[in-house]
Amino acid sequence: MFSGFSFHLRVQLRNEKNLLHSLNMRYFSPCLLWISWCYVSQTRAEFFTSIGQMTDLIYLEKDLVKSLKEYITAEEAKLSAIKSWAEKLDELTHTSTSDPEGYLGHPVNAYKLMKRLNTEWLRLESLVLQHTSDNFIANLSIQRQHFPTNEDESGAAKALMRLQDTYRLDSDSISKGRLPGVQDLVSLSVDDCFELGKVAYNDGDYYHTLLWMEQTLKQLEEGETGGVTKAEVLDYLSYSVYQMGDLRRAIELTKCLIAADPKHLRAKSNLNYFNNLLRQQKQDDEESDVESSESQGVKYAPPVDYLPERDTYEALCRGEGIKMTARRQRRLFCRYHNGNSNPRLLIAPIKEEDEWDSPHIVRYYEVLSDAEIERIKDLAKPRVANYGVGGQYEPHFDFSRRPFDRNLATEGNRLATYLNYMSDVTAGGATVFPDFGAAIYPKKGTAVFWYNLFRSGEGDYRTRHAACPVLVGSKWVSNKWIHERGQEFKRPCGLTEVD
């Protein structure tokens, strides 16, 4: 540009010189020379003015280049993050789709799937929206209708905490994926632990908030990085400890919070409030001559559950308190059963094994083939299908205790239960009977049978049972309730109430 402008200027000057030679110098020379000089001077002045302006433009362009580089770096970081996410998910989905039930059988996998689809994929969508990708966004928008909701993610988190309570697992073991029968460890990140704590906090469950915020803090102190700060964790932790009644520790944690974030106004207000409460507590203790909480110690415990047999039920789920004695074991046998000479079973009798003596519980082997199991599962999937993350069935009776039940008039009460196990379960998932201390474990292709009623038609209250939450694995069951009608000759009435 500059060379072109200079050439134009030289042409103008040469033309002007030729003009001077052609004119009468005696009359026009002084004036034209002055005009010429003024013209050249003005031209140079505009030129230098342009250079001065362009120096500003150079720095402006430098800033633009810097901004462009920052944009490119940001875009590369986004693409790198998206690529890393895609590669990680490619490997993860390869593993998960090769054995969906086995993968989801690990409760941490199930929780993280909920979290990914409800939270992290939406973050990725926001990231990609900053860099146009119409096809991906269109596909994501279509698929989003199938994504889990906030309620689903929260439910999965609560299920993980239910497993923690039932099987008495510490947060660190769960976070590191150290569960019974698990080969591949699946870990929870510091952000995962923090989200679990927040779910508990929003539910008013300060016990689990404390457990998971402590785990978050532990992982932060071990050097793990994430999107959460130490101050954020301490904020939740200090308040939860206060809610659990441990004023002294709440004060210590609040001081740590202020040290981590000196500008945290609520923390300073809380510290004053906690100190005042502690002083009042000391005064009350002195007046009543009662030992302070410092000497007594504060014990953290899960929320009170008023279910009467909760402790017994959960102990049986853990394999504790099972009342299988050597004497009882000697009364249990295996046999081939032909259904009292049933023609269909004479050639191929069924394998029967005693699981419990009184009430009598038996297990039948090879009652469902793999093909039959898959067919039942296909039919069940669109409905209520199998036990989900931490899925359980609280203690209940299979027989009806309502005398005017509509079904009783047509079919009679539920005389017996025939329960098919359609999958093996790596850990947990037992069927337990709290009243007499039995635990029956799932075995694929088998079925267990017991009577719910005495021969008199009265309910056998010992058969109250529950399904323990699945810790690792996937539990599929189907059942058949055998009603009284039509069984009169196969199981005649007894002469006493408990026959």
Give the tokens for residue 494: 């007894």
Of the two residues 414 and 3, the one the predictor is more confident about is 414
Using pLDDT thresholds of 50, 70 and 90, give the confidence band for residue 391.
confident
Question: What percent of the chain shows pLDDT beyond 70?
Answer: 79
CB 388 within 8 A of CB 159: yes
Q: What integer pLDDT is reported at residue 289 of this predicted model? A: 63
Of 294 and 425, the one with more pLDDT: 425
| pLDDT beyond 70 at 44 | no
Return the axis-axis angle of helices 247-260 and 265-288, rounded to nearest 10°.
160
335-349 pLDDT tens trace: 998 877 777 788 889
| Paired tokens of 482 | 């055998």
pLDDT on residue 440: 97
Residue 51 CA: distances (Å) to CA of 43, 56, 356: 12, 9, 100
Residue entry with tokens 């990231």: 127
Q: Who's near 496: CB < 8 A, 6+ residues apart?
A: 456
Whether the bond between 442 and the residue before it is cis, its omega within 30 degrees of 0, is no
Selection from 449, 459, 444, 262 nearest residue 370 by Cα? 444
Residue by residue, what is the 3-state secondary structure of 351-396? Answer: EEEEEECCCCEEEEECCCCHHHHHHHHHHHCCCCCCECCCCCEEEE
Amino acid letter, residue 144: R
Q: What is the pLDDT of residue 105?
A: 84
**What's at 279, amino acid-wise?**
R
Angle between helices 310-317 and 150-166 (to 10 degrees): 90
- Please report the pLDDT score of residue 77 as a whole number: 80
Is pLDDT above 90 for 72? no
Question: Do residues 352 and 448 lie in contact, with contact meaning Cβ atoms separated by under 8 Å?
Answer: no
Given pLDDT bands bounded at 50, 70 and 90, which one contains residue 79?
A: confident
Q: Is 78 exposed, middle or buried (0-12, 13-18, 19+ CB in 10 A)?
A: middle
Q: What is the largest CA-CA distance in the chain?
A: 154
Strand partners, 54: none
In this structure, of 43-52, 115-124, 364-373, the range with the lowest mean pLDDT score is 43-52
Q: Residue 304 has what DSSP assignment?
A: P
pTM comes to 0.74
Give the pLDDT mean for 311-325. Answer: 93
pLDDT, position 409: 66
Q: What is the pLDDT of residues 397-445, one digit of tens each?
A: 999 886 656 556 678 899 999 999 999 999 999 999 999 999 999 999 9
Q: Mean pLDDT, the chain, as a whole number? A: 80
Rounded average pLDDT over 202-217: 96
- Between CA 491 and CA 344 the distance in angstroms is 20
pLDDT tens, position by position, 123-177: 888 878 775 555 666 766 777 777 778 888 898 899 899 999 999 999 999 999 9
Question: 118: which DSSP letter?
Answer: I
| Residue 31 pLDDT greater than 50, yes or no | no
